[in-house]
Chains A and B, each alone.
Chain A
Amino acid sequence: MSYDYIEFGESEKEFTSKIEEISGQNIFSCYQCGKCSAGCAFSNLMEKTINHTMQLVQLGKKEKVLQSNTHWVCASCLTCTVRCPREIDVAAVMEAIREYTLRYEPETIERLDLPEELLKKIPNIALVGSFRKKSEL
């Protein structure tokens, strides 16, 4: 049986506190009621539920959080934020995870690397969006 190792070392603390800093939220307020996940219209598309993600952020599990598509699937509709009984702005936490990725784990898209065929098909808005999210520019 493999055990996931829990530790609160520098890198774990750094991740948790960075997410807290960017979102302005106290991650530890989350008591895992699951209301955010229950109400999110996109939960079924997320690899990890929102509350699961919240718990992983509490534990400083950076890789697990970033590997999951949860924060990218999030549409920023704010349902979770409105509903969270602990008044956590959960959507802001999702945004913070996206920002964290952009700031610290840039995955860039080089316009020149994209095949001409694809460029013709992609709607402009998608291209602009992906530059904003995934480019060094």
Chain B
Amino acid sequence: MRIGVYVCECGKNISATVDVEKVVDYAKSLPYVASSRVYKYMCADPGQELIKKDIEELKLDKVIVAACSPRMHEPTFRAAIEDKGLNPYTLEIVNIREQVSWVHDDKKKGTKKAKSLVKSSVMRSALMEPLDRKKVGVTHKALVIGAGIAGIQAALDIAGSGYQVTLVEKTSSIGGKMAQLDKTFPTLDCSACILSPKMVDVGRNPNITLIANAEVEQVDGYVGNFEVKIKKKPRYVIEDKCTMCDDCVAVCPVIAHDEYNQNLSPRKAIYIAFPQAIPASYIIDPDDCLGIDPLICSKCKDVCGPEAIDFDMKPEIIEDEFGAIVVATGYDTYPIENLGEYGQGNIPDVITGLDFERLISPGGPSTGALRRPSDGKLVKNVVFIHCAGSRDPAKHLPYCSKICCMYSTKQALMFKHEVRDGTAVNFYIDIRTGGKDYEEFYQRAAEEAKVVYIRGKVSELIQDGDEILVKGVNTLTAETVELHADLVVLATGIIPSQGTKDIASVLRLSLGINGFIKEAHPKLKPVETSITGVFVAGCATGPKDIPETVSQAGRAAVRACNIIAQDEIEVEATIAHVDEMLCRGCGVCVETCPYSAITLIDTKRFGNTYKVASVNEALCKGCGSCAAACLNGAINQFGFEDKQILAMIQALGEE
């Protein structure tokens, strides 16, 4: 056996705390070691060439690199040795940066620790065996869950690359929150005008199968081969037959809350969410309808010319297979009920940002002229309260919701455009305008529209006659202040939607501390998740504006296409394997595995049937949890066999 040991200085990152020359000398004294060298940047081309040259000239059969974390450069060095004909899984990395030089000051001790780690790795390396990368076939089709702007964009981009994509939306129409917005910062173009063409494209694109009013119930399988169960709730209106004549609405006797208008206006039990809705079809809400029973009412059915109404529709389960999944299930806003100082939703003219979008929209409940909810009076004085629930780790949300400075500014500006002699006052803590043309937009609001900005929190909102008394502070003049307003708009924070939480549990995705879906890496893998083949875009990972959501959706689409474009994909080689003779079928590993990769199966031994653990090779991520948990030592992990680990421990103990 001929092992080469390569020690990296990492500039001064390592060499400042580890005497690299000494480590090299020490490595040369160890068994099996045929060569050891040091270089300033092992990961750079000359460093890699050094290793490659040695493999050729010194006929090395294993390589050890003592450098940074394997998370950084394991793939780099694996590729380098594979290039010279070695099996990539015979590479061993000793982390002498994160685990030595960065955490120690004492060079003597650091050098000693680096030496022991190198020794233990040599012992492991000697026992390492070549591993095969397994391949699995791929279904050339993607699933996008959630059809806000993120899901719409991801579906269009996947379809645009020539692949089939199924788009599942929970509500009766695609569009998400963006469909509720009136105008959009920083250009003030009308939200519907820029969104509707994309929605229409989704409806028309032959590569997109849209399933609205539906939810994903179950996902099995693994990257390349997800088996998905989708439950489509009955719409009671046949999509293809409905001509959107509106005749049914005239006769329906039931008045219900219109969710699209934030419950600020009524709708009927049969309705369409909004005129541009896609699928372009009415729907009956079974909770509002007098009873999905022709005997009780059926007025709509009687007047429907094209006979589109079908009370006998049943929930449908659609089963399909997909190679990759994009989650785009979006956000909700922080509940006003949690904000005691702002009336907990009991003051009718204290509303949320989304309420305001509907109120000022020409298609909204007050048909454009901004009237307040309580008495329909035209609004003259508005107070906008930023950070309502955000940036308050003690009581509410710890994080900044990122878009509300901008949308409050937008709303103040929209208000001033409509009510020229009105006043708009924004209470803020900081103004955050980190986006292209955002700061300019904010300055424009103040300069052109004379929107007033007061730095400070509002402490209390009190109904005072038909006005609202706003009490707060102006920290710039160091005075407590109060004023009256006709309408108060709370910039309520952005939180993960219920649908985001639901789908995370169906897919077993990891969530961050704030409940948003966690990215595989916050910077370099922003759309990847803890599960290979499942990607995420838009507000499901955290607050985002539309431009960022759209770009993320594009990246998620590309990543999904990377998978579904292939005929087969390689799966992790360092996966768990079961020694059936040792396994007693206790199932501890089944519960331990965070990726649900292990099941108990029946096996025949000496004519009897036993339960034993079985690892799904495509699902296993090689985390090693099961190997650690198994009481019988029946599960081992390729590349991290017990004998290798024990050899390492023994080497460390000898020091």
Report A's interface with B, CB cutoff 8 A: 1-8, 26, 28-32, 51-52, 55-56, 58-59, 86
**Would you list which residues of chain B between 392 and 438 have a CB under 8 Å from chain A?**
423, 425, 431
Q: Are B453 and A52 in contact (CB under 8 A)?
A: no
Across-interface contacts of A32 in B (CB, < 8 A): 453, 455, 476
- In the complex, 5 of the A-B residue pairs with CB atoms within 8 angstroms, ordered by the A residue number, are A6-B481, A7-B483, A29-B447, A32-B476, A55-B477
Across-interface contacts of A3 in B (CB, < 8 A): 471, 480-482
Across-interface contacts of B451 in A (CB, < 8 A): 28
Q: Given A28-B451, A32-B455, A55-B474 in contact, is the A6-B480 Cβ separation under 8 Å?
A: no
Q: Are A51 and B452 in contact (CB under 8 A)?
A: no
Q: Are A56 and B480 in contact (CB under 8 A)?
A: no
Q: Are A31 and B453 in contact (CB under 8 A)?
A: yes
Assembled-state Cα–Cα distance A55/B481 (Å): 13
Q: Closest 7 A-B residue pairs measured CB to CB? A: A6-B483, A3-B482, A8-B423, A4-B479, A28-B450, A29-B447, A28-B446
Assembled-state Cα–Cα distance A59/B476 (Å): 12
By beta carbon, the residue of chain A nearest B447 is A29
Across-interface contacts of B481 in A (CB, < 8 A): 3-6
Assembled-state Cα–Cα distance A8/B481 (Å): 13
Across-interface contacts of B452 in A (CB, < 8 A): 8, 28, 58-59
Q: Are A26 and B479 in contact (CB under 8 A)?
A: no
Q: Are A86 and B455 in contact (CB under 8 A)?
A: no
The interface size bin for chain B is 20 to 34
Across-interface contacts of A2 in B (CB, < 8 A): 480
Min CB gap A90→B, angstroms: 15
Min CB gap A30→B, angstroms: 8
Q: Are A26 and B447 in contact (CB under 8 A)?
A: yes
Across-interface contacts of B455 in A (CB, < 8 A): 32
Min CB gap A66→B, angstroms: 15
Min CB gap A89→B, angstroms: 14
Min CB gap B406→A, angstroms: 15
Assembled-state Cα–Cα distance A3/B446 (Å): 25
Assembled-state Cα–Cα distance A57/B310 (Å): 65
Q: Is B104 an interface residue (CB 8 A)?
A: no
Across-interface contacts of A58 in B (CB, < 8 A): 452
Q: Are B476 and A55 in contact (CB under 8 A)?
A: yes
Across-interface contacts of B453 in A (CB, < 8 A): 31-32
Q: Are A4 and B480 in contact (CB under 8 A)?
A: yes
Q: Is B484 an interface residue (CB 8 A)?
A: yes
Assembled-state Cα–Cα distance A59/B477 (Å): 11
Across-interface contacts of B450 in A (CB, < 8 A): 28
Q: Given A28-B450, A29-B446 in contact, is the A6-B476 Cβ separation under 8 Å?
A: no
Q: Is B632 an interface residue (CB 8 A)?
A: no
Min CB gap B320→A, angstroms: 54
Assembled-state Cα–Cα distance A1/B481 (Å): 10
Across-interface contacts of B479 in A (CB, < 8 A): 4
Assembled-state Cα–Cα distance A8/B471 (Å): 16
Min CB gap B372→A, angstroms: 18
Name the residue in B447, B474, B477, B480 with the highest tally of chain A Cβ atoms < 10 Å from its Cβ: B477
By beta carbon, the residue of chain A nearest B449 is A28
Q: Is B443 an interface residue (CB 8 A)?
A: yes
Q: Are A1 and B480 in contact (CB under 8 A)?
A: yes
Assembled-state Cα–Cα distance A7/B381 (Å): 10
Assembled-state Cα–Cα distance A126/B479 (Å): 36
Assembled-state Cα–Cα distance A29/B474 (Å): 18
Across-interface contacts of A52 in B (CB, < 8 A): 476-477
A51 contact from B474, B476, B483, Cβ within 8 A: B476
Across-interface contacts of A6 in B (CB, < 8 A): 425, 454, 481-483
Assembled-state Cα–Cα distance A2/B451 (Å): 25
By beta carbon, the residue of chain B nearest A34 is B476
Q: Are B480 and A28 in contact (CB under 8 A)?
A: no
By beta carbon, the residue of chain A nearest B446 is A28
Across-interface contacts of A55 in B (CB, < 8 A): 474, 476-477
Assembled-state Cα–Cα distance A25/B446 (Å): 13
Min CB gap A110→B, angstroms: 36
Min CB gap A23→B, angstroms: 15
